């Protein structure tokens, strides 16, 4: 695939040329629409800055949330545009969809309003997506370049990710390129022992990646809400903990690999709340009416020991409800163990999503990991061996 460096070094470069950039600015907001984690915006800066600094007229497209009925104030990209401007040191104007671009000078950056305000962006109908892509191209001109830099959306066949890349000269931004190179290391020949840590709520969300990884990993550590379906498969009662009864038999089969390591103790509570009554119990002692919300200290120590032996670690999904203080220590302990083994020379990848958010929320230094992905879903689908439309189109395979 052609890269950002190729674009910057071709001919006379990008001076005065319009470049359409697909970024991933889907950041979490609080009730007052303040950004609570700007990691994705910060990750988008190097590519945008490189283009702007080289004299391009940069038009950024991105989405926020899942608007259903056209424009909604709560899904406006205004906070992202403001934060991006702060990081770039220059204002980023927000342009309504369907409106012409403002007059732009070399180096200017504008952002289109939430691309998903137009339902054709995510349409399953190829013709609808194509029509929207045509409108985006007409906005920037047929001679514009397209830079795909939103790794968190490359697993989606959407107009601003896939169809536009078939109409404009496409390039991989620095973020997408680095993400793909890192993940190819994991599916190639990773240094061993290779340990994978999976958490999150549901086994069903991770089933495909578990099945894909089990033949290639040395150890698969399972925490989070999904561990209780595995514990049920071992015959343990799980009280009121999250349980996918229809996945119990599948988990029982997966456990036959001998590579899956489960918690031996958990932190349980009588309610899903920060002020609930809590206690730490062995996995054999979860009482009816109590629900597991974190792995316990013995499990953290056992997981850390396994991680400490690894030369390669991939982590996706928290070990508990880290957003609530009583249930954050499992995720903190595992994250710190990964940072420690990285300091000792191991290669570590944090698979985006809640895992990346947890690193920042828990105050663990981001440079303690070899790579923190910006796309949880995209990372998992890559490891599953799925074709990512937004990558395939850059490689000319669409």
292 annotated as a binding-site residue:
yes
354 assigned to a ligand binding site: yes
Q: Which of 2, 42, 167, 202 is catalytic?
A: 202
Q: Is 156 a known ligand-binding residue? A: yes
Beta bridge partners of 59: 20, 110
Q: Would you say 112 is a known binding-site residue?
A: no
Over the Cα atoms of the chain, what is R_g? 22
Catalytic option among 22, 40, 129, 306: 40
What span, in angstroms and rounded, lies between the C-alpha atoms of 376 and 353? 5
Residue 63 assigned to a binding site: yes
Query: Beta strand pairing status for 57-61 and 93-95?
Result: unpaired
Q: Is 152 flagged in the annotation as binding? A: no
Name which of 175, 106, 98, 105 is nearest 138 in CA terms. 98
Asked if 202 is an active-site residue, the reply is yes
Establish whether 26 is an annotated binding residue: yes
Q: Which two tokens stand for residue 240?
A: 């009121």
Pick the catalytic residue from 39, 224, 353, 375: 353
Q: Is 65 annotated as a binding residue?
A: yes
3-state DSSP of 188-255: CCCCCCEEEEECCCCHHHHHHHHHHHCCCCCEEEECCCCHHHHHHHCCCCCCCCCCCHHHHHHHHHHH
Closest CA to 40 of 20, 22, 59: 22
259 flagged as catalytic: no
Q: Are 352 and 380 in contact (CB under 8 A)?
A: no
Active-site annotation holds for 39: no
Residue 279 marked in a binding site: no
Annotation says 225 is catalytic: no
Q: How far is Cα 335 from Cα 179, in angstroms, rounded to an integer?
A: 20
Q: Is 353 annotated as a binding residue?
A: yes
Please choose, from the candidates 51, 377, 11, 353, the residue with its C-alpha nearest in 3D space to the C-alpha of residue 208: 377
d(CA 328, CA 319): 8
Q: Is 169 annotated as a binding residue?
A: no
Q: Which candidate, 162, 62, 156, places its Cα nearest to that of 393? A: 162
Per the annotation, does 120 bind a ligand? no
CA distance linking residue 49 with residue 217, whole number of Å: 38
How far apart (Å, rounded) are the C-alpha atoms in residues 28 and 36?
Answer: 6
Residue 175 has phi, psi (to 5 degrees) of -70, -50
323 annotated as a binding-site residue: yes
Q: What angle do CA 217, 294, 246 make, to 5 degrees?
A: 65
129 is in an annotated binding site: no
* 349 vs 142: CA distance, rounded Å: 38
The reply to whether 298 sits in an annotated binding site is no
Q: Enumerate the active-site residues.
A: 40, 202, 353, 377
Binding residues for ATP: 206, 292, 323, 352-355
Binding residues: 24-26, 40, 63-66, 116, 156, 206, 292, 323, 352-355
Binding residues for (2R)-3-phosphoglycerate: 40, 116, 156
Binding residues for substrate: 24-26, 40, 63-66, 116, 156
């Amino acid at each position: 695939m052609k890269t950002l460096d190729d674009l910057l070094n071709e001919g006379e470069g990008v001076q005065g040329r319009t470049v359409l950039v697909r970024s991933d600015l889907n950041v979490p907001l609080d009730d007052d629409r303040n950004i609570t984690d700007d990691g994705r915006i910060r990750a988008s800066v190097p590519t945008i800055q490189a283009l702007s600094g080289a004299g391009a007229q940069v038009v950024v497209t991105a989405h926020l949330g899942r608007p259903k009925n056209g424009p909604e104030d709560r899904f406006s990209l205004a906070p992202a545009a403001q934060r991006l401007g702060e990081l770039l040191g220059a204002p980023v104007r927000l342009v309504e969809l369907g409106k012409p671009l403002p007059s732009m000078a070399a180096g200017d950056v504008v952002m289109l309003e939430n691309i998903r305000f137009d339902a054709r962006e995510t349409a399953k109908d190829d013709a609808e997506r194509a029509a929207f892509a045509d409108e985006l191209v007409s906005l920037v001109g047929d001679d514009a370049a397209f830079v795909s830099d939103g790794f968190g959306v490359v697993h989606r066949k959407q107009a601003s990710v896939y169809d536009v890349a078939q109409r404009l000269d496409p390039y991989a931004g620095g973020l997408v390129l680095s993400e793909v190179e890192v993940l190819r290391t994991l599916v190639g020949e990773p240094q061993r022992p290779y340990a994978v840590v999976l958490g999150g709520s549901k086994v069903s969300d991770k089933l495909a990646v578990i099945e894909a990884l089990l033949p290639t990993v040395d150890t698969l550590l399972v925490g989070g809400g999904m561990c209780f379906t595995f514990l049920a498969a071992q015959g343990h009662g799980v009280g009121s903990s999250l349980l996918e009864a229809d996945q119990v038999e599948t988990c029982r089969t997966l456990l036959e690999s001998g590579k899956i390591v489960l918690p031996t103790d958990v932190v349980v509570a009588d309610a899903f709340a920060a002020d609930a009554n809590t206690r730490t119990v062995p996995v054999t002692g979860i009482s009816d009416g109590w629900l597991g919300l974190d792995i316990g200290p013995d499990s953290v120590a056992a997981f850390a020991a396994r991680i400490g032996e690894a030369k390669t670690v991939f982590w996706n999904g928290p070990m508990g409800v880290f957003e609530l203080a009583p249930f954050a220590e499992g995720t903190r302990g595992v994250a710190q163990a990964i940072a420690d083994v990285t300091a000792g020379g191991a290669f570590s990848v944090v698979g985006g999503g809640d895992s990346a958010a947890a690193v920042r929320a828990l105050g663990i230094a981001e440079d303690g990991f070899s790579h923190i992905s910006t796309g949880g879903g995209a990372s998992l689908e890559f490891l599953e061996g799925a074709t990512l439309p937004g990558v395939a189109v850059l490689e000319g395979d669409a």
